[in-house]
Amino acid sequence: MEVKVKTALVSVSDKTGVVEFVRKLANLGVKIISTGGTAGALTQAGIEVVGIESVTGFPEMMDGRVKTLHPKIHGGLLGLRDKSDHVAAMKKHGIDPIDLVCVNLYPFEQTVAKPGCTLEDAIENIDIGGPSMVRSAAKNHRFVAVVTHPSQYDRVLAEMGKTGGAVSADLRAELARAAFSLTAAYDAAIARYLNDLAGDRFPERLSLAATRAAALRYGENPHQAGACYKFAGAGETSVSSGRLLDGGTPISFNNLLDTNAAFELVKEFDAPAAVVVKHLNPCGCAVDENICEAYRKAYEGDVVSAFGGIVAVNRTVDVELAQTIMESYSRFGKARGASGFFAEVVIAPIFEPEAVEIIRTLKSWGSRVRLIETGPIDRSRIAAGEYDVRCIVGGLLVQQRDLVGWEPEALTYPTKARPTKDQMEDLRIAWLAAKHTKSNTIVLVKNRRVVGVGAGQMNRVESGLIAFKNAGADAQGSVMASDAFFPFPDNVENAAANGVAAIVQPGGSVKDDEVIAAADKHNIAMVFTGKRHFLH
């Protein structure tokens, strides 16, 4: 059923495009009712509007808090046009039907995201009348079209232009679904702000509001559908806030998971750093004063696993770095046993235009690689209050994010040998890499480069054996990190047999004394962090 729009109520906070939208509505013969600042903007543009007070018989009051909460507004929205008693009630009380509502809401999330936002500011930006009108119109979408975003204006106008001023049932239903999603997300944002303010991190009812950013080719596997959603108001530099540059193959579900893993690790370092990730685990990670050298060292950490991996750097990709990445195989990989190289994604704060051209044209695979530009990394904007959410069938597991990094003041030194200054830097890198590697985890670092990783094994000894095998001769003189404590001395004995010079681990095992004694026997320096980094 098509419903011809004769009367529209327009009240928007975001006035983008609203003047042109309403002008075209008016040209189609639609009567325009409006409120406050919106009415002023429309009148100034030469559009004839009926003030809300003329409809309700009441002036706007209480600083605009009360203006649309009135039976003549909500009766006009909620009245069923095919139900005789509704029609009779509307006629008896002088209520005219409203066929279209154009409303967007006070910018609550933008307000609370501003530095120095007070509770009073936040409360004043909780919209009441707007969501009420949106919900009334959406509930009665059989007869009312509800427009809640400027992106919908052109589609509504196009349909009205083709139908002589009517909006189809299908479009009204689609707009209603979008409207209820909007109000649900809006209320979720308010609830979260107030819960955070009260220190209630895990309220009885948890609502998570997110907006679809992209439809994906598929999920983890081709038979699974997938999409990417962003949390509203997230200000942290991240994969979600990044911009996918033109060109490249459409990004996938697994690409985004792996890219997030790579970028979150590279964000841990202030110095130039590069990370290569494959299947959520770092197969390469290095720090250096020169970003090209950091990348080379990261790639050489495991040239075989780097094939088809994710590259993350925390510096600008300039011409030199672009050439270094694209020529990884011929410059460094072939001599070390790689059969080839390409990257699925390269993520960086900035890409110079000339560097993008090199990536796209130097090698055949460059036309397919996805490039994500995040903007400068600002660690002061880490969203400490953001949830880490994992799904189980029928529910969610919710926890605080693991934002603990390297805490020098919390370290203890239980062994006779103490790490050297250079070893301490390698231990720091190993510890941070282990934090971002699936448990059970053993990471080996030498000269600020990850040389061996054992990840995701059912026992820590096996993870260690894999790390030593991958490191080969580079294990000699390396340092070792374990994401959790050693329950037995066996990992220390294996470390000694492979030439490990220093170890960092949480400590806290009932057999710490035996573990420490094993380290002392082999003159291995050990550092306890007091914190573990399980990552399942």
- CB burial class (10 A; 0-12, 13-18, 19+) of residue 328? buried
- Are the CB atoms for 251 and 216 separated by under 8 Å? yes
Picking from 3-12, 92-101, 107-116, 322-331, which range would have the lowest pLDDT averaged per residue? 107-116
What are the residues whose beta carbons fall under 8 Å from the beta carbon of 270, sequence distance 6 or more?
none
pLDDT digits (tens, 9 = 90+) for 283-298: 999 999 999 999 999 9
3-state secondary structure of 180: helix
Segment 373-378 shows an average pLDDT of 95
117, 111 Cβ separation under 8 angstroms: yes
- Mind listing the pLDDT tens digit for each residue in 297-327? 999 999 999 999 999 999 999 999 999 999 9
Q: Which domains does the chain have, with CATH numbers?
A: 3-198 (3.40.50.1380), 234-377 (3.40.140.20), 409-528 (3.40.140.20)
Predicted local distance difference test score (pLDDT) of residue 137? 94
- Whether residue 341 is predicted with pLDDT greater than 80 in this model: the reply is yes
Catalytic residue among 15, 230, 279, 334: 279
- Does residue 139 carry a catalytic annotation? yes
pLDDT in tens, 390-400: 999 999 999 99
- Please calculate the CA angle 512-457-255 and round it to the nearest 5 degrees: 125
Compute the average pLDDT of residues 177-196: 91
pLDDT at 514: 97
Element counts in the chain: helices (H) and strands (E): 19, 22
Q: Which pLDDT band, with edges at 50, 70 and 90, does 266 fall under? A: very high
Average pLDDT value for the chain: 93
Out of 139, 230, 334, 531, pick the active-site residue.
139
What is the predicted pLDDT for the residue at 210? 87
Q: Cα–Cα distance between 500 and 149 in angstroms, integer?
A: 60
The answer to whether the Cα torsion of 408, 413, 419, 421 is positive or negative is positive
pLDDT band at 274 (very low <50, low <70, confident <90, very high): very high
Whole-model pTM?
A: 0.89
What is the rounded average pLDDT of the residues 99-126? 89
pLDDT tens for 486-534 read 999 999 999 999 999 999 999 999 999 999 999 999 999 999 999 999 9
Percent of the chain with pLDDT over 90: 74
Report the pLDDT value the prediction gives residue 56, as an integer from 0 to 100.
72
Question: CA–CA separation, 446 vs 481, rounded Å?
Answer: 12
279 catalytically annotated: yes
**Per-residue pLDDT band at 458 (split at 50, 70, 90):** very high
Q: What is the pLDDT of residue 95?
A: 86
Provide the β-strand partners of residue 388: 399
Given a cut of 90, whether residue 340 has pLDDT beyond it is yes
Question: Which is more confidently placed, 482 or 230?
Answer: 482
Q: Which two structure tokens, joined as six digits, stand for 408? A: 């020098």
Of 445, 442, 470, 469, the C-alpha closest to 454 is: 442
Question: Which segments within 288-342 are labelled E, that is strand?
Answer: 309-313
Query: Quick one: DSSP state of residue 315?
Result: S
